[in-house]
Amino acid sequence: MLPDQFSRGDNDDLMIEGVSVAEVAERFGTPTYVYSRAAIESAFGALTEAFGDRAHRICYAVKANSNIGILGLLARLGAGFDIVSIGELERVRAAGGDPAVVVFSGVGKSADEIRRALDAGIGCLNVESEAELDRIAAIATEMSRTAPISLRVNPDVDARTHPYISTGLKDNKFGIAIDEALSLYERAHAHPALEVIGIDCHIGSQLTDVSPFAAAAERVMKLAHQLAERGIRLKHLDLGGGLGIRYTDEQPPAAADWIEAIRSVVDADPLGRDLPIWIEPGRFLVGPAGALVTRVEYLKPGSHKSFAIVDAAMNDLMRPALYGSDMAIVPAAKGTGTRSQDTWEIVGPICETGDFLGHERSLELGEGDLLAVLAAGAYGFSMASNYNTRPRAAEVLVDGGACHEIRRREPLDSLWALERLPPLGR
């Protein structure tokens, strides 16, 4: 099953909106990331529609895909942004985003990052430890600023996802234990350089069940009542992101189901009904919109395993090697080589056994064929590296029948442009 905005055209070529993937490869080379504008807008629209006229803010998680072309598109749709570094803040600004609708998450904010965020007029700092709260208070005092903060609370809810992307358990490094948050909120409320404006909570990523979202919302609402009893009035509830997408055979909930699970808890409570709900989706907005296009370089059949060696690698798409992620890989266009039906290991040219895009894929392939790794719009390019001194891929945004190169392929000499030969003498 192809994601929305993908279809089959003449000769069974893969199409994204009105453009063939073969045309993208011809114009921009391979490997290349290609994204559908319509798919991103549709996903954002589904969330907006699910909220209706209920006060809310959709803060896109920039880490999922940080290309300024994507950020600019989402800014024009009215998105806020969830960031985890000052670099991501500057990307948002470069894309035309407003720092006032940005939330700054992350467990390790440096002093320089906090100063820059306050100077830029950040919307909210999501505080993840007592030490961070003290640092923000000291810096805000030094700058004669009032820092808008929420505490990211850890509700100890099992998101039932991969352990590397679970963030809401006591074992995780993220957030402040929810039973310890009350005393920190009281300290923050009493500090003249801090303004408490919300509660933040994020329990994990790639969730395919909405019940953990509802469980976390219940614990957040209990804390909100404890704060209200102490005269601490909130301006929003940030209930995070993490809604899953389909990679192969997953059956993730619809956007409306996710929002309904949250609202069924928050809006049933008179205190919650008056508070805007903020969410932090990333993968849901951009994952299904993207594909990694790669070309088959060599076929290496064998008696034990057969390998299709492609020009994309783990440096281009880390998820399979890092998480063991199973991502759909489909034919995109036929090359001119002799074709062979087999069960293939789809592997790249990097000198690591862990360099694979997919295992045991039954495909008829020939050298020069194009393949597309689907649902690669999130945590694809944003996690890419230059390992083995490989240039990172190009990125292309398709808009109807038009293709826009939103990041050109890196020239080789750019890979060592910041390096210097030291004066070693003899």
Model pLDDT for residues 298-326, shown as the tens digit of each residue: 999 998 999 999 999 999 999 999 989 99
Q: At what angle do helices 68-77 and 37-51 cross, to 10 degrees?
A: 40
Average pLDDT over residues 259-273: 96
Query: Is the peptide bond between 31 and the residue preceding it cis, with omega within 30 degrees of 0?
Result: yes
Model pLDDT for residues 332-390, shown as the tens digit of each residue: 999 887 899 999 999 999 999 999 999 999 999 999 999 999 999 999 999 999 999 99
The domain locations on the chain are 6-30+289-416, 37-283
Q: Which pLDDT band holds residue 175 (cuts at 50, 70, 90)?
A: confident
Would you name the residues annotated as active-site residues? Answer: 351
Average pLDDT over residues 145-170: 70
Q: Determine how many CB atoms are found less than 10 A away from the CB of residue 56.
A: 21
Long-range (24+ apart) CB contacts under 8 A made by 183-191 are 184/127, 184/130, 184/133, 184/151, 185/151, 185/227, 185/230, 185/232, 186/230, 186/232, 187/133, 188/127, 188/133, 188/137, 188/149, 188/151, 189/230, 189/231, 189/232, 191/137
Length of the chain: 426
Average pLDDT over residues 267-292: 97
Residues ≥6 apart with Cβ < 8 Å to 270 = none
Cα–Cα distance, 285 to 65 (Å, whole number): 10
Q: What is the CATH number that goes with domain 37-283?
A: 3.20.20.10
CATH topology for 6-30+289-416 is Lyase, Ornithine Decarboxylase; Chain A, domain 1 (2.40.37)
Cα–Cα distance, 273 to 291 (Å, whole number): 39
Model pLDDT for residues 103-119, shown as the tens digit of each residue: 999 999 999 999 999 99
pLDDT of residue 156: 78
Q: Determine how many CB atoms are found less than 10 A away from the CB of residue 23.
A: 15
